[in-house]
Structure 1
Amino acid sequence: MLDEVNVRLLTELHDNPRLAMSELARRVGMSAPAVTERVQRLERLGVIAGFRMEIDPAALGMPVTAIVRIRPGPGQLPKIAEAARSTPQVVECLRITGEDCFLLRIHGPSIGELEEILDRFLLYGQTTTSIVVSTPVPLRPLPVSER
Structure 2
Amino acid sequence: MKIDEKDRLLIKLLSRDARMPVSELSKRVGLSGPATSERIRRLESNGIISRFTLEIDLATLGYPLQAIVRIKPRPGNMHIVEEMIMNEPGFLDCDKVTGDDCFVARLALRSIADLDPVLLPFHEKAETNTAIIKSSPLRARIPV
TM-score, with length taken from structure 1: 0.88
In the alignment, structure 1 residue 21 sits paired with structure 2 residue 36: no
CA distance in 2, matches of 1:51, 1:124: 36
CA distance in 2, matches of 1:29, 1:133: 40
Instruction: State the Cα RMSD in Å.
Output: 1.5
Percent identity, aligned pairs only, is: 40
Describe the superposition over 1:30-51 as per-residue Cα deviations: whole angstroms up to 9, x where unpaired.
2222211211211122211322
CA distance in 2, matches of 1:85, 1:69: 15
Q: Classify the secondary structure of the residue corresponding to 1:60.
A: coil
Q: For residue 66 of structure 2, what is the aligned residue in structure 1?
A: 65
Deviation, structure 1 residue 106: 0.1
Deviation, structure 1 residue 65: 0.9
Deviation, structure 1 residue 125: 0.6
Deviation, structure 1 residue 79: 1.5
Within 5 Å, give how 1:1-147 maps onto structure 2.
Answer: 1-135=2-136, 137-144=137-144
Q: Classify the secondary structure of the residue corresponding to 1:58.
A: coil
Cα distance change of structure 1 residues 133 and 50 upon mapping to structure 2, 3 Å threshold: same
Q: Is the 8 A contact 2:64 2:110 kept in 1?
A: yes
Structure 2 residues without counterparts, runs of 5 or longer: none
Q: Classify the secondary structure of the residue corresponding to 2:60.
A: helix
CA distance in 1, matches of 2:36, 2:27: 9
Deviation, structure 1 residue 129: 0.9
TM-score, with length taken from structure 2: 0.90
CA distance in 2, matches of 1:109, 1:16: 27
Q: Is the 8 A contact 2:15 2:142 kept in 1?
A: no
Cα distance change of structure 1 residues 118 and 88 upon mapping to structure 2, 3 Å threshold: same
